[in-house]
Amino acid sequence: MFNIKKYQIAIHFEETNRESVKLKRISKGQSLLEVMLTNNIEIKHDCGGVCACSSCHIYINKGSEHLEEMFLKEKHFVDRAYKPAIHSRLACQCLLVDDSGSVEFTIPNY
Ligand code: FES
């Protein structure tokens, strides 16, 4: 018998009175933007997820080691985001690269 490994993802919202969401059994190979959209969690994505805006800005709280590393183009757009921080990323560029793990992030309140 084999063990199918998947991600657990917790999404928090800076927006007051909005409850956190926990997702289980998320497969690798998806971006965090794709994970949110397929689970009906709204987030802006003005450029359609091609790293040409800053609208999908998120804060990674936990599990950054499971995400594809940040390249220069993403860093450029993160710097233009609303309230960028050391743990800022663009959700469309955060690809889940390991077989399994736990990732936790916050969507800023714009
Ligand atoms: S949707 Fe535009 S950079 Fe992510």
State the chain's mean pLDDT as an integer: 95
Tell whether 81 is covered by a domain: yes
Confidence of residue 14 (pLDDT cuts 50, 70, 90): very high
Whether residue 2 is predicted with pLDDT greater than 70 in this model: the reply is: no
**Residue 25 counted as domain residue:** yes
**CATH number, domain containing residue 73:** 3.10.20.30
- 44 within ligand 1 shell (Cβ under 6 A): no
Picking from 64, 36, 72, 63, the residue whose alpha carbon sits closest to that of residue 44 is 36
Query: In this predicted model, what pLDDT tens digit does every residue of 71-98 receive, in sequence order?
Result: 999 999 999 999 999 999 999 999 999 9
Residue with tokens 């390991």: 98
Looking at residue 14, its amino acid is E
pLDDT of residue 3: 59
For residue 54, being part of any structural domain is answered with: yes
In sequence order, which ranges of 15-109 are alpha helices (DSSP H)?
A: 32-38, 72-79
Our mutation pick for probing the ligand 1 site, out of 92, 94, 110, counting the most ligand atoms within 8 A of Cβ, is 92
Q: What's the number of domains the chain is made of?
A: 1
Q: Which range of residues forms the domain containing residue 27?
A: 7-107
Report pLDDT for 110: 77
Residue 1 within any structural domain of the chain: no
Residue 69 has pLDDT above 70, yes or no: yes
* Distance separating alpha carbons of residues 43 and 64, to the nearest angstrom: 19
Q: Is the pLDDT assigned to residue 1 strictly greater than 80?
A: no
Residue 2 lies in a domain: no
Ligand 1: which of 43, 46, 78 to mutate, most ligand atoms within 8 Å of CB?
A: 46
